[in-house]
Amino acid sequence: MQRICLFPGTFDPITIGHVNLIERALPLFDTIHVGVGINTTKKNMFSIEQRIQWINQSFLDQPSIIVSAYEGLTIDHCRKIGASFILRGLRQSADFEYEKSIADTNRTISGIDTFFLNALPEYSSIASVLVRDLLLHGGNTAPFLPKHVQHDIANQLFNEKTRA
Ligand code: ADP
């Protein structure tokens, strides 16, 4: 049986914390689908296409990683792609409080189990929401982003400034 897993998230944008979690999960599964959830009620900073491109560029030499967008219930997307497992990361204990009931609910209605990996200590305070906040206020995001993402964002900001 193929061990197919879905790693769902917003990835707005992908951080080195996400990358590390996916890399550590690679030996556990045959295929990891990184699912970028489309949430119409949530206002995102980066477009879905941009977020997918950045994730793809983070794993160019990893054929077992597939990136796609999905809308609706995570378990419905699992069924569509044949995933029997969901992967989520835990940074702080608050993550666990929040994730536990979602994982329990998903298992009850679909039988799909969620696996949790603890963030490494050096990544446990890295969050896309903090990166977005830094970007909004001109802070340095380089310590938290893959190099290509930081490079693209710096270029975008430069282009915006030179256009203004
Ligand atoms: P969501 O809005 O679904 O939480 P995120 O993109 O913020 O989407 O996170 C996707 C997954 O990645 C979540 O399981 C989250 O716990 C995990 N994650 C986010 N940042 C880190 C990090 N720094 N280290 C490890 N896991 C992380």
The predicted pLDDT at position 161 comes to 74
What does the longest C-alpha to C-alpha distance in the chain come to?
Answer: 55
The predicted pLDDT at position 162 comes to 78
* CATH number for the domain harbouring residue 91: 3.40.50.620
The count of structural domains within the chain is 1
The predicted pLDDT at position 152 comes to 96
Pocket of ligand 1 (CB under 6 A): 9-11, 15, 17-18, 21, 88-89, 91, 95, 119, 123, 126-128
Return the residue whose CA atom lies nearest to atom 17 of ligand 1.
89
The predicted pLDDT at position 1 comes to 84
Q: What is the three-class DSSP state of 133?
A: helix
Q: How far apart are CA 8 and CA 29, in angstroms?
A: 15
Q: How far apart are CA 27 and CA 136, in angstroms?
A: 37
Give the domain extent around 124. Answer: 4-163
pTM of the model: 0.95
Q: Which residues of the chain have pLDDT under 50?
A: none
Instruction: Tell which atom from ligand 1 comes closest to the C-alpha of 128.
Output: 7
Return the residue whose CA atom lies nearest to atom 24 of ligand 1.
17
Phi, psi (deg, nearest 5) at residue 97:
-55, -45
